[in-house]
A and B are shown apart, each in its own frame.
Chain A
Amino acid sequence: MPEKSKISRTTEFVRGAKDTIPMMVGAAPFGTIFGAIAIGAGLTPSAVIGFSVFVFAGSAQFIAAKLFADGLGIALIIFTTFVVNLRHALYSASLGPYMKDFSQKWMLPLAFWLTDETYAVVINNYPTDAPYKRWYHLGSSVSMYVNWQLWTVIGLVAGSQLEGIAELGLDFALVVTFIGIVVPLLTTRPMLLSAVVAGVVSILARDIPNNGGLMVAAILGIATGVIAESLSPKPQPLEIPLDSMESDA
Chain B
Amino acid sequence: MTQNELFLIVGMMLVTFLPRYVPMLIIGRVDLPERLFRALRYVPVAVLTAILVPEAFVRDGQFTLALDNAYLYASIASVIIAWRFNNLLLTIGGGLLFFFAWRLLLG
Q: How far is the CA of A182 from the CA of B13 in the complex (A)?
A: 25
Interface residues of A (CB under 8 A from B): 25-26, 29, 43-44, 46-47, 50-51, 54-57, 59-61, 63-64, 68, 74-75, 77-79, 81-93, 95-97, 99-100, 107-108, 111-112, 114, 169, 171-186, 190-191, 194-195, 197-203, 206, 213-214, 217-222, 225-226, 229, 238, 240-241, 244-247
Residues in B with CB closer than 8 Å to A88 are 16, 19-20
Given contacts A112-B20, A175-B75, A218-B50, 10 further A-B contacts (CB under 8 A): A51-B9, A56-B16, A57-B12, A77-B8, A100-B28, A175-B95, A180-B92, A184-B86, A195-B46, A221-B49
Number of interface residues of B (CB under 8 A): 69
Residues in B with CB closer than 8 Å to A226 are 35, 38-39, 42
Q: How far is the CA of A55 from the CA of B99 in the complex (A)?
A: 30
Q: How far is the CA of A200 from the CA of B42 in the complex (A)?
A: 16
Point out the residue from A44, A184, A202 that lies within 8 Å of B2, measured CB to CB: A44
Please state if A183 and B20 are interface contacts (CB–CB under 8 Å).
Answer: no
Please state if B9 and A214 are interface contacts (CB–CB under 8 Å).
Answer: no
Please state if A96 and B54 are interface contacts (CB–CB under 8 Å).
Answer: no
CB 8 Å contact bits of B38-74 with A (1 = contact, 0 = none): 1111111111111111111110000100000011001
Point out the residue from A25, A50, A197, A213 that lies within 8 Å of B5, measured CB to CB: A50
Q: Which of A95, A179, A195, A244 has the most CB of B within 10 A?
A: A179
Residues in B with CB closer than 8 Å to A214 are 47, 50-51
Point out the residue from A79, A91, A182 that lies within 8 Å of B48, measured CB to CB: A182
Residues in B with CB closer than 8 Å to A25 are 89
Please state if A179 and B95 are interface contacts (CB–CB under 8 Å).
Answer: yes
Please state if B8 and A64 are interface contacts (CB–CB under 8 Å).
Answer: yes
Closest 7 CB pairs of A and B: A96-B27, A221-B46, A176-B95, A180-B91, A225-B42, A183-B82, A217-B50
Q: Given A92-B21, A180-B82, A185 and B55 touching (CB < 8 A)?
A: no
* B 70-94 contacts with A by CB, 8 A: 70-71, 74-75, 78-79, 82-83, 86, 88-89, 91-92
Q: How far is the CA of A85 from the CA of B18 in the complex (A)?
A: 9
